[in-house]
């Protein structure tokens, strides 16, 4: 009988109720909004900047969508328009005005400049 009492006392000392917070896991419509507001606040701090000559900038990617006049987009930069080109703020298009070709050829603008093409 003494052994039973000692066993009971030992178990009662070792098996005391835990003091803690019970968390229910499972389906519930409750959710935390504190984490989402902190996350969205940090996203606004990561806004990316574009070239100083950019008129329309996508701050999410840092990509310029439209450059100032007489400039064109190259990568993420707004570069000066090259000589004998027309720049619309997005692309540089060769200007073939004043270019003469021999024979039955006419000047035609390409990505690399002006080429003489037969009619």
pTM score, whole prediction: 0.48
- Inform me whether the pLDDT recorded for 12 exceeds 90: no
Every domain of the chain and the residues it spans? 47-119
Whether the Cβ atoms of residue 67 and residue 78 lie closer than 8 Å to each other: yes
Rounded to whole angstroms, the Cα distance separating 25 from 84 reads 69
Q: Which residues of 80-108 are buried (b: 16+ CB within 10 A; e: fewer)?
A: ebeeebebebeebebbbeebebeeeeebe
- Give the model confidence (pLDDT) of 45-70 as tens digits: 577 889 999 999 998 888 999 999 99
Rounded to whole angstroms, the Cα distance separating 72 from 64 reads 10
Task: Work out the mean pLDDT of the chain and round it to a whole number.
Answer: 76
- Per the model's pLDDT, the better-predicted residue between 34 and 8 turns out to be 8
């Amino acid at each position: 009988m003494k052994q039973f009492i000692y066993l009971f006392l030992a178990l009662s000392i070792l098996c005391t109720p835990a003091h803690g917070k019970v968390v229910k896991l499972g389906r519930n419509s409750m959710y935390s909004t504190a984490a989402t507001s902190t996350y969205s606040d940090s996203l606004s701090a990561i806004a990316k900047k574009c070239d100083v000559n950019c008129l329309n900038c996508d701050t999410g990617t840092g990509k310029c969508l439209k450059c100032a006049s007489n400039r064109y987009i190259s990568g993420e930069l707004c570069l000066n328009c090259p000589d004998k080109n027309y720049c619309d703020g997005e692309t540089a298009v060769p200007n073939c005005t004043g270019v003469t070709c021999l024979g039955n050829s006419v000047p035609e603008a390409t990505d690399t400049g002006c080429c003489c093409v037969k009619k």
